[in-house]
Amino acid sequence: MTLEKPTNPVICISTEKGNMYLELFPDVAPEHVKSMLALIKKGFYDGLIFHRVVPGFVIQGGCPKGTGTGDAGYKLKAEFNSRKHLKGTLAMARAGHPDSAGSQFYICLDEIPHLDGQYTVFGQLRLGHDVPENVTQGDKMKITIIRDILN
């Protein structure tokens, strides 16, 4: 697995379809990375589902209600950055307000340039590239930290 920075955190999203290993980018979205790592450590994501799957667009999960309407009980300030929405990009979903991201995230199934600068990109798929396309709505997840620089 090739990383952009060897010190960046790495997480693994496990599903029945396989494992996705993602590098996180604390240099451009430090609060989003800290939040995700903290939620993972609490086991927040374990057993949650991918509630939204749009072929050719995104797979989305992280809603404790399983409907797309829940969050972790807090909101994150937007950390929009110059990272692009490429195939395999990890970004935080949000409601209408820029500062409304919480626990829901999505992984891009293709390039989605119209989302650039509108959502906080904070990671990139590095291993398991075939898995996102095979995820279906309702698939359960478990997320583990492979490397955590934030401790």
Count of helices and strands (H, E) across the chain: 1, 8
Q: Return mean pLDDT, the chain.
A: 96
- Smallest CA-to-CA distance from 102 within 62, 43, 48 is with 62
Res 146 pLDDT > 80: yes
Burial-class residue 93 by CB neighbours within 10 Å (0-12, 13-18, 19+): buried
Class of domain 10-119: mainly beta
Parse the chain into domains and list their residue ranges. 10-119
| 4-53 per-position pLDDT tens digit | 888 999 999 999 999 999 999 999 999 999 999 999 999 999 999 999 99
